[in-house]
């Protein structure tokens, strides 16, 4: 699939994220891998291309959270999921402690 085909078929960033999570299971465990693969799907071959695309890593991160945590699709490995839950609890506990 070339980049123009991907651009035509994937009308939203969420479509792109779901496409990549489905096609490349290793991206389910890492927002960085997910972001890089999304950029590659849009035709990026180097850092300059990534800058030109203008895709936000924050948008990719938040959409991955929606897809995995709310829609329960393309879930990460159990160890990664447990680590994310543990980290979220640590952050909540810390916030409650300092308030």
pLDDT tens series, the chain, 99 aa: 456 655 555 579 999 999 999 999 999 999 999 999 999 999 999 999 999 999 999 999 999 999 999 999 999 999 999 999 999 999 999 999 998
Could you tell me if 54 and 16 are in contact, meaning their C-beta atoms sit under 8 angstroms apart? Answer: no
The CA–CA distances, whole Å, from 42 to 71, 75, 76, 85 equal 24, 23, 23, 31
Tell me the C-alpha distance between 12 and 9, whole Å: 9
* Model pLDDT for residues 8-24, shown as the tens digit of each residue: 555 799 999 999 999 99
Residue 54 lies in a domain: yes
Residue 51 lies in a domain: yes
What does pLDDT average to over the chain?
A: 92
Residue 9 lies in a domain: yes
| Residue 44, phi-psi category: left (phi > 0), alpha (psi -120 to 50), beta (remainder) | beta
Q: How many domains would you assign to the chain?
A: 1
pTM for this predicted structure: 0.80
40: containing domain:
3-74
């Amino acid at each position: 699939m070339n980049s123009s085909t991907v651009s035509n078929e994937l009308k939203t960033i969420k479509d792109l994220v779901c496409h990549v999570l489905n096609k490349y299971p290793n991206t389910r465990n890492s927002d960085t891998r997910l972001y890089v693969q999304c950029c590659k799907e849009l035709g990026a071959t180097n850092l300059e291309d990534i800058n030109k695309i203008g895709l936000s890593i924050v948008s990719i991160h938040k959409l991955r959270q929606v897809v995995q945590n709310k829609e329960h699709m393309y879930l990460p490995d159990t160890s990664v999921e447990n680590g994310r839950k543990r980290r979220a609890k640590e952050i909540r506990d810390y916030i409650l402690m300092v308030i």
